[in-house]
Chain A
Amino acid sequence: MAAKAPDRRRNNPPSHGTTPPVFLSSSSSGAVKPKQSSRPPDEIRKIFLRTGLISSVTGSSFLEIAPLKLSVSVLGPRPLPRTSSTPFAAQAILTTEVKFAPFASTVRRGYIRDSSERDLGSRLYQALVGAIRRELYPKSRIEVVVTILDSEDEGDDVNTVYIEEGKATVETKFWDAGRSERALGVVLAGCITAASAALADAGIEMFDLVSGGVATSFVDEANSKGKGKGHLVSNKLYVRDPAIAPPGGKTPLATCVLGYMAARDEISELWISGKVGTKNGTTEMDELVDEAIAAARSARGVLNEAAKERVQFIVDKTGTAPPSKGETTDVEMSG
């Protein structure tokens, strides 16, 4: 008798039996507690950024910042779709898309884009659209597709609940206040930096590279509990590129994410969430933005080197110029 044809419509189980995985109990190991980083608050985490990894698209990049891993593909400039709904465009039409892989956040995500992904996509659009010389590419579209492979974000269900509840005064559940903003902020800053590298790799002309920066202001937990205005403003701690776990004994106040063009000193995208006030004539917002700019400046150094790296490789390989440096060098970050 002939063997039964395999069922092609379903994911078939293995033909042999399986045993359920047995995990070590987590209580015995110290893995539950997130490791506190020892870096100073004015230093961003080390960035790994490479370009030109995907050969089938015009430009691509891959970025890693501690747990965050994402890849960016740039397609185009390609002709507009044949549908008559798109009118004549004298400038290139930019489309951005941010997608978390289903396994990217601690809570599993769906395959369809959810609200936070659409939100990140439109913020990324805002950050990049002003930097691209779109007038050079009429009647075409440039697509930026970001796939987030790993992040500290907890998924849209968690974020939505928190955003709906709105204020930091709401008793939060197992996550602490501003947690999702910090996680999404780090993701967005990474998206902006990596997308700039991918656009540069694609050879699309830009006014300047855009680098992303993120900073969070913290206060002492004791101060945040008291509702008095007087002592709330004292001793703020600004952390650049914050990890999801807040520094010990601190409560986050506000998070600022921005896209920054360092050579022109322009901010192309600004996103602040949380509580900011004024003190001594200087607004806390300005201080927070300055911290985020400083973080973006640090990221720009890595971005510059990453953008040059592949071109240098090509130059060395084709021998169009004398090779300047031997191997690629990593850029050490300093605040």
Chain B
Amino acid sequence: MTSLVVPGQPLGPVSAYIPGPGVHTFNGQIVASLVGQVVTSPQATTSTSTATTTTPPTISVQKPVLTTDEETNATLLPEVSSTVLCRITRINSRQATASIFIVNNHICGDEFQGVIRVQDVRLTEVDKVKIFNSFRPGDIVRARVISLGDQSNYYLSTASNELGVIMADSEMGDPMYPINWREMKSTRTGVVEERKVAKPF
């Protein structure tokens, strides 16, 4: 039986729980900051060779969502180290500008603007990277947020094997499939184009 709590409602002393998402602490109390159900994770006991330490259970408040709009989360914001999917909107020799539409496998309510700078495209041989040989406008890219950036852009990085272009169309507009880590081939004409390709799972 889970009951609903409202913001401001005390849930228990700080000593008894570890605060999780949806709660904050005030006057030694853990207080709900969302309307929703209280979720307590079972307390974890980690025994090492010397001593057994018991971590108190984590308490959090979750706002239940209807199944229909479970995927979208209007209050979702990109954070540092979150994995995002974005669409390249424009490129120049220094950076590629992208529009973020999925953050940590959740569709965000509004699209956020991000940039992939030339030094963040790949991990090795950074000085040989050319943006034009890595991304093209319209590509769908899996990237990681490395900084909240300036007032308008989140800074993204694809410097990892599993990050990079996951969907792209060729210059003729045909879908392409990856053939190696830096090339994709058109399904129709067989033309090979250069991309910073994400490693398929």
Contact = CB atoms under 8 A, between A and B. Distances in A.
Interface of A: 58, 76-80, 82, 84, 86-89, 131, 133, 137-140, 200-209, 261-264, 304, 307-308, 311-312, 314-315, 317-318, 320-322, 324
A207 B77 contact: no
A321 B66 CA distance: 13
A119 to B, nearest CB: 27
B49 interface: no
Nearest to B66: A314
Given A87-B151, A304-B6, A200 B1 contact: no
A88 B155 CA distance: 13
Contacts of A82: 113, 152
Nearest to A58: B74
Given A133-B24, A207-B26, A80 B75 contact: no
Given A79-B110, A79-B112, A209-B7, A203 B34 contact: yes
Contacts of A203: 34-35, 63, 74-75
Contacts of A140: 77
Given A207-B33, A263-B10, A321-B37, A58 B75 contact: yes
Interface in B10-58: 10, 22, 24, 26, 31, 33-37
B190 interface: no
B109 interface: yes
Contacts of B3: 324
A131 B26 CA distance: 13
Contact of B75 (A77, A139, A320): A77
A138 B149 CA distance: 11
A317 B75 contact: no
Contacts of A200: 6-7, 34-35
Contacts of B66: 314, 317-318
Nearest to A140: B77
Contact of A77 (B34, B77, B151): B77
Interface of B: 1-4, 6-10, 22, 24, 26, 31, 33-37, 63-67, 74-75, 77, 109-113, 148, 150-152, 154
B74 A139 contact: no
A129 to B, nearest CB: 15
A315 B75 contact: no
A67 to B, nearest CB: 28
Contact of B7 (A58, A87, A206, A314): A206
Given A84-B151, A87-B151, A263-B9, A315 B37 contact: yes
- Which 3 A-B residue pairs are closest in the complex by CB-CB distance? A263-B8, A208-B8, A205-B33
Given A79-B112, A205-B22, A318-B67, A133 B4 contact: no
Given A138-B77, A139-B77, A263-B7, 14 more contacts: A58-B109, A79-B111, A139-B148, A202-B75, A204-B75, A205-B24, A207-B8, A208-B7, A209-B7, A263-B31, A307-B6, A308-B4, A311-B36, A315-B64
A265 to B, nearest CB: 10
A263 B8 CA distance: 5
B98 to A, nearest CB: 13
B55 to A, nearest CB: 24
Contacts of B112: 79
A205 B34 contact: yes
Given A207-B33, A263-B31, A321 B109 contact: no
Given A84-B151, A140-B77, A207-B24, A308 B6 contact: yes
A131 B24 CA distance: 12
B151 A322 contact: no
21 contacts: A79-B111, A87-B151, A133-B24, A137-B75, A138-B148, A139-B154, A203-B34, A205-B34, A206-B34, A262-B8, A263-B7, A263-B9, A264-B26, A307-B7, A308-B6, A311-B4, A311-B36, A314-B65, A315-B64, A317-B66, A321-B1
Nearest to A85: B151
Contacts of A86: 151
Nearest to A51: B35
B152 A80 contact: yes
A27 B150 CA distance: 67
Contacts of B10: 263
Contacts of B22: 205
A327 B29 CA distance: 32
A207 B67 CA distance: 28
A312 B1 CA distance: 13
B7 A207 contact: yes
A308 B35 contact: yes
A79 B8 CA distance: 27
User: Which of B3, B6, B67, B113 has the most chain A CB within a 10 Å cutoff?
Assistant: B6
